Amino acid sequence: MNVDLVVAGAGFFGLTVAERCAADLGLRVLVLDRRGHIGGNAYSEPEPETGIEIHRYGAHLFHTSNERVWEYANRFTDFTGYQHRVFTTFKGRVHPMPINLGTLCSYFGRSFTPDEARALVAEQAAEITDPANLEEKAISLIGRPLYEAFIRGYTAKQWQTDPRELPAEVITRLPVRYTFDNRYFGDRYEGLPVDGYTAWLERMADHPNIEVRLGTDFFDVRADVAGGVPVVYTGPLDRYFGYAEGDLGWRTLDFETEVIATGDFQGTPVMNYADEDVPYTRIHEFRHFHPERTHYPADRTVIMREYSRAADRDDEPYYPVNTARDRERLLRYRERAAREDGVLFGGRLGTYQYLDMHMAIASALSMVDNRLRPHFTEGVPLTGGGIDR
């Protein structure tokens, strides 16, 4: 193989590494991905009947306060002025999320000043002082009424487990905003790529020093492509080592896409469903992500219902479960990774961390700066490659 670096995985992490190594270091990079498209879970495509751009693996919203990441992203795409706002349905009424002063006023049916709202939540949260499970932890943070309305049913569907049987550490914080600010993210920069995620990602890969092979599993060609050159591996960490320390736990998502004969189904991009008897956790309506696209049909819309469940080996992993047993196994896998000379592990799957897109880009840029650049420009060996966190 006439390449300098192999990257397993064409998501944001892998493509950032490939683009920087090709464009900045002049390396020949081979990128492999088992899927038939680049971009990992950020992949977007037009729905064939309507032409409305959908995010095949659930809504992806770009936001960051990292100046370097924002500057880097803007090399490949312009961004719209989109600001993400989420609403939730509970018992036939709609409330803004995350919990803010508007949520408190709508749920309790009266107006509050910020001080009145703080006093109410503090009084209700005082019920639990020594939480022993997720439910008690949540109540100790926001009180029982808000927990039962907005957290209990949603959490039970996400985990398919009674919250009283989940450990308290699953929830570390539940912020309440005592203003009417209902922006979902608080980062300095936010928006959606003007031409969509796939166009952005294709521009990252469009370099003469980068070869992308889709529909190619790294493990099927490992012996042919990985000999003698460094590897950046972004696939499942446990799979790399043949599950020798046991399977790491993940949650996965199932999606049900439907074209509806109306110009507007729900009036907002994302509607959560907090009632436990509603089987899905939320509905995405993709036309609302790009209101500036006037060519979308006026009489049809595309919705996507999202369901959560435990992941098997053949499923696409989304959220690390991160139980005590998972953490024990992860430590053992990290020890194995540290002994893999010439292999660096990164990205969501390779580090067993949930990474937003901006976090994946930032982590990849750091890997190039701290590990790959010194190796290729100064000859620093990649012994004990290990996991970049």
By annotation, the residues acting in catalysis are: 173, 177, 251, 282, 306, 354, 356
Residue 265, CA distances (Å) to 51, 182, 284 in order: 16, 21, 10
Angle at 59 between CA 296 and CA 361, to 5 degrees: 120
How far is residue 114's CA from residue 97's CA, in Å, rounded to a whole number? 17
How far is residue 82's CA from residue 149's CA, in Å, rounded to a whole number? 28
DSSP state at residue 170: G
User: Is residue 342 a contact partner of residue 386, using CB atoms and an 8 Å limit?
Assistant: no
The strand pair at 282-285 and 301-310 is best described as: antiparallel
In 10 A of CB 229, how many CB atoms?
Answer: 17
| DSSP secondary structure string for all residues of 48-116 | TTT--EEETTS---EEE--HHHHHHHTTT--B------EEEEETTEEEEES--HHHHHHHHTS---HHH
Give the residue among 385, 358, 359 at the shortest CA–CA distance from 370.
385
| 197-205 helix and 12-23 helix, angle to the nearest 10 degrees | 30
How far is residue 205's CA from residue 208's CA, in Å, rounded to a whole number? 9
DSSP state at residue 122: H
| Helix or strand holding residue 345 (H, E) | strand 343-345
In 10 A of CB 91, how many CB atoms?
Answer: 7
Q: List alpha helices for the chain, DSSP H.
A: 12-23, 67-73, 101-108, 114-125, 134-142, 144-146, 152-159, 197-205, 218-225, 237-240, 324-338, 347-351, 357-367, 373-378
Residue 336, CA distances (Å) to 121, 329, 344, 388 in order: 46, 11, 12, 14
